[in-house]
Amino acid sequence: MKSIDAFHEFEREGWGDAGVCGEYDQHFGAVTSQSVRALLDAAGVATGSRVLDVCCGAGYACAGALQRGAEAVGVDFSPAQIELARERVPGARFEVGDGCALPFSDASFDGVVNAIGVPHLPDPDLGLREALRVLRRGGRFAFTVYDVPERVLGFGPIVPTVQAHGNPDFGVPPGPDFFAFSDPAQSRPRLEAAGFADVVFATVPQVWRVRTVDEALAAVAEGTVRARAALRAQTPAAMVRIRAALEQIWAPYRREFGYELPMPVVLASGAKP
């Protein structure tokens, strides 16, 4: 099996777990939702628009699109995510589908969005071309990805801390660089190569509020896939060291209620000529 196929199967199995999807929704849904408004603005979503939400998860962007009077369609490779989205956002239409082979005809949407999903695609560049294909001329595609690790204080330090203080062999198949699209200098040429014009970037601030370090680690261990594998590969002794190191890293973000960890996203958008 090619490494990219192994990665895709690893992601499909992980996000196919209803428990993982529910935990992500519980712990990180409120974070992802903080940039939905900016995401929809960048895609030009308005009353009467027909918008596609790729890698829709629990339907955060679809819910925002409906509030604007748009027609919302969501697609995700995880049946568990689609089931959750249908429960949460009954006014939208949701389908199980592959972001690299969208089950829609050419030029069938006014806008396409993707919230934090591009790094989960086995072939992100193919995913960009598919977004372009289903867009109508003049329509915009907008996506968010987490900013570079040193600025994303919630997720960014976890894997480096595990590598420094625990077992660095997580058993995760090689896949696309999770932060490859976080740098506009790398992201812009890939969007333009896919066929997009008028490419624009912005940074949208987000924060993750957690009460304790243990709560944060539990959320990552239960509500993610790649980072969960990293944590689950550790011994109890290693986890003590990892926890202590993260507590030190996160100390400047301690607040009265717990921690307020920066989780900014880079928002990219482009138009179909």
Tokens of 206: 């987000």
Domain count, the chain: 1
Look-up: residue for tokens 């801390």?
Answer: 161
| Amino acid 175: pLDDT | 76
Nearest to 143 by CA among 122, 169, 115: 115
Tokens of 147: 């900013």
- Domain span including residue 125: 3-271
Q: How far is CA 156 from CA 11, 43, 54, 250, in A?
A: 19, 27, 24, 11
Nearest to 179 by CA among 153, 202, 156, 203: 156
Mind listing the pLDDT tens digit of every residue in the chain (273 residues)?
A: 455 788 888 888 999 999 999 999 999 999 999 999 999 999 999 999 999 999 999 999 999 999 999 999 999 999 999 999 999 999 999 999 999 999 999 999 999 999 999 999 989 999 999 999 999 999 999 999 999 999 999 999 998 999 999 998 877 787 778 899 999 999 999 999 999 999 999 999 999 999 999 999 999 999 999 888 889 999 999 999 999 999 999 999 999 999 999 999 999 999 999
CATH code of the domain containing 242? 3.40.50.150
Q: Which residues contact 5 (CB under 8 A, 6 or more apart)?
A: 122
